[in-house]
Amino acid sequence: MKKRILFLLTAGLGLKSYAQNTATLTVSNNSKDTISRNIYGQFAEHLGRGIYGGFWVDKTLPVAKQDRIRLDVVNALKKIKIPNLRWPGGCFADEYHWRDGIGPRPQRPKMINTNWGGVVEDNSFGTHEFLELCQLLGCEPYISANVGSGTVQEMSNWVEYLNFDGESPLTNLRTQNGHPKPFNVHFWGVGNESWGCGGNMTPEHYSDEYRRYASFAKNYNNAKLKKIACGPNASDYNWTETCMKNIGPGRMWGLSLHYYTLPTGNWSDKGSSTNFGEAAYFNTMKNCLQMEELVTKHSAIMDKYDPQKKVALVVDEWGVWTNVMPGTNPGFLFQQNSLRDALVAATTLNIFNNHCDRVKMAALAQCINVLQALIITDKEKMLLTPTYYVFDMYKVHQDARYLPVKLNAPEYEYEGKKILAVNVTASQDAAGKVHLTLANLDAHNTIAVSTEFKDIAWQAVTGRVLTSAKVDDINTFEKPYTLIPKTFTGARKEGDKLVINMPAKAVVELELN
């Protein structure tokens, strides 16, 4: 079985493994596929300090705000060009009733967040606040509708309230609430994790529910819906098969996939986000690479029913999930963010980019203060994590033309187990510049990558690198710049080839002019 998994990982990335510290890379110019910017999406659930205390802060907090939206957070996310933001969940979505979050805030009913800590929510952050946030961010909203405890009419009304440009009781209500013009929200998730917290449904039952809900979620002028069906949990291939067969490609824009990288592989004790050694690091990277197998196998099933690849694979929950930081609320899912997390992010994004013919959208879990966060806040303080900087380095791929790669790479071995040490993405932007992003997972060895370009002319190379002394190094409020991208001088032109000296445990971004 292990040999088969290694084969799938190798075949999917166009890789071949051999035991040495050099690699060869060929970049071709024969693809018409585009790496969708929506692969770089983010997730903001009503969970812990993700919304309240993250995006939405107390009016007395001494930071720049628009209403109660924190603007230093907004500006940091604008810098990395996040393309979409998924809300309100997650498991929270299937207990959320949108009417509770509109209208005058003092009149909004309070609710219990039964999934995450049992805290009371005052619903001061609702639909209008979320869409104002998306406008400030310059990103598209992605709304997850309530299928688990909601109704068909509830979702239908929400779509009409946001998207109908005409006269109706719901549009009159929207006008009363300060927004006469429609919001034109295109991305809609029809339920979340319906196999679990969203209803514990069978795929057959969910498929029927999806068809019913989707039938009454209407397209209005300038707002054709991109409906995303709840897809499988990790390796539940039967769920994908059933949904593709029973829903059919013509009824959905996308099918979701959720997969979290657990350092231990054990949900009851996932491992620490800060105190870990090489064994936990190696196992985390090994588990991260399972994303390649999942995307490959689910895509193959989708190809049976949708050979033209019209349905997007939407990996709208992914990232590292560890034990919470000691002393914090276990329901708030707060963890730190290390160089290991950055290497997981880089590797996962490379996998998505290399499957851009099918993977059209994704969302890291989560944006602020929860799980593998881009940003951590503490009252007025704000901290950018190593994962944030990976998204900053990788933004060059957004909407760029994918360039196929063939990589012969060495293996990183630990206690008799092996994984491929290097992974890579190549693309060409609208200005003709070629970008490479590489991750070296080997904790010890520099790897020399000799790169050949097919039908691609270039003259000069510049780059940035993200690395640190230890894989468990983190940024803190006291030392916020331990892990930041720095100028990379380890790439040079030798004849027609590019030679890259990839440092151990590092992410590198290169631009060829």
Please tell me the pTM assigned to this model. Answer: 0.94
Q: Give me 24's structure tokens.
A: 């060869």
Q: Could you tell me how many residues make up the chain?
A: 513
Backbone angles phi, psi at 462, to 5 degrees: -130, 165
Contact assessment for residue 435 and residue 426, using Cβ atoms and an 8 Å cutoff = yes
pLDDT in tens, 411-441: 999 999 999 999 999 999 999 999 999 999 9
Q: How many CB atoms sit inside 10 A of residue 103's CB?
A: 16
pLDDT in tens, 54-96: 999 999 999 999 999 999 999 999 999 999 999 999 999 999 9
- Rounded Cα distance between 201 and 198, Å, is 8
CATH class of the 2-31+404-512 domain in this structure:
mainly beta
- Between CA 223 and CA 232, with CA 229 as vertex, the angle to 5 degrees is 155
Return the active site residues.
193, 317
Q: Count of alpha carbons within 13 Å of 193, Cβ hemisphere only?
A: 17
pLDDT in tens, 354-413: 999 999 999 999 999 999 999 999 999 999 999 999 999 999 999 999 999 999 999 999
**Residues above pLDDT 90, as percent of the chain:** 96
Backbone angles phi, psi at 272, to 5 degrees: -85, 150
The CATH code that applies to domain 35-399 is 3.20.20.80
The structural domains of the chain, with segments of one domain joined by +, span 2-31+404-512, 35-399
DSSP conformation class of 83: -
- Rounded Cα distance between 224 and 242, Å, is 25
DSSP conformation class of 366: -
pLDDT in tens, 127-185: 999 999 999 999 999 999 999 999 999 999 999 999 999 999 999 999 999 999 999 99
Instruction: Write the Ramachandran bin of 200: left for phi over 0, alpha for psi from -120 to 50, otherwise beta.
Output: left
